[in-house]
Amino acid sequence: MKNLIYIIFAGVFLLGCSKDEDTPQPPAGENPLETFLSVTGFNQNIYEYIDDKYYVFGMRFTPKVNGKITDVTLKIPNNDNSTHLISVNLWDVETQEVLRTASVLTLSNTGVKESIEPLSVTKDKEYMITFNTDDYYEHSRNDGEDIAYPVTAGNIIINGLNFQSGQGEIFPTANTPLDFYLGDCGFIFVKD
């Protein structure tokens, strides 16, 4: 009798396990900013700017495959007003049109991820993600050496950093410094 109970219990347990395996999992996303900072060595030194001049920072990128941007990520060193939302924009570089905007509530020194309505992005088309703040990080290498763009980060090619002083919805036009990277604004990419 005990053996029969053990067999029934084991069967129920195994059937329960097989159901989990059959449940489709959402596709895993990539965070190209994390990969970029690691590949370039820009994760070696981090300096905080707090209550500095306002800038718009933007990372230009090109997908290597068709896919979707499902979330934006943001981290700033200081946010002394907890009700302050930082605007994150995704742009078409060629037309300088905003394709998607997210308002992200940030916490000091804490990375946040904000879901957005998925944005389909096309292979070999250039986009930019931007944010506007007076609190940001500067990333550099220990050796202070320049890097060469473009940089491949998984299925995304990082073409460079743009920035511009000012506030509001500005398409930043100043081009890429090669020995540092400014900002911690990224996205989650899921290939089709």
CA–CA separation, 120 and 99 (whole Å): 10
Tokens coding 99:
């394709």
Task: Name the fold adopted by 29-191.
Answer: Jelly Rolls (2.60.120)
Q: Give ∠ CA 121-171-187 in degrees, rounded to 5.
A: 40
In this prediction, residue 10 carries a pLDDT of 47
In this prediction, residue 127 carries a pLDDT of 98
Tokens coding 19:
């159901």
Any idea where the domains of the chain sit in the sequence? 29-191
Pick from 187, 190, 160: nearest CA to 34: 187
> What tens-digit pLDDT sequence spans the chain (192 residues)?
555 444 444 444 444 444 445 555 556 799 999 999 999 999 999 999 998 899 999 999 999 999 999 999 999 998 666 556 899 999 999 999 999 999 998 878 888 999 999 999 999 999 999 999 989 999 999 999 999 999 999 999 999 999 999 988 899 998 878 999 998 999 999 999
DSSP helix/strand/coil, 41: coil
* Strand 45-49 versus strand 156-165 pairing type: unpaired
Other C-beta atoms lying within 10 Å of the C-beta of residue 45: 14
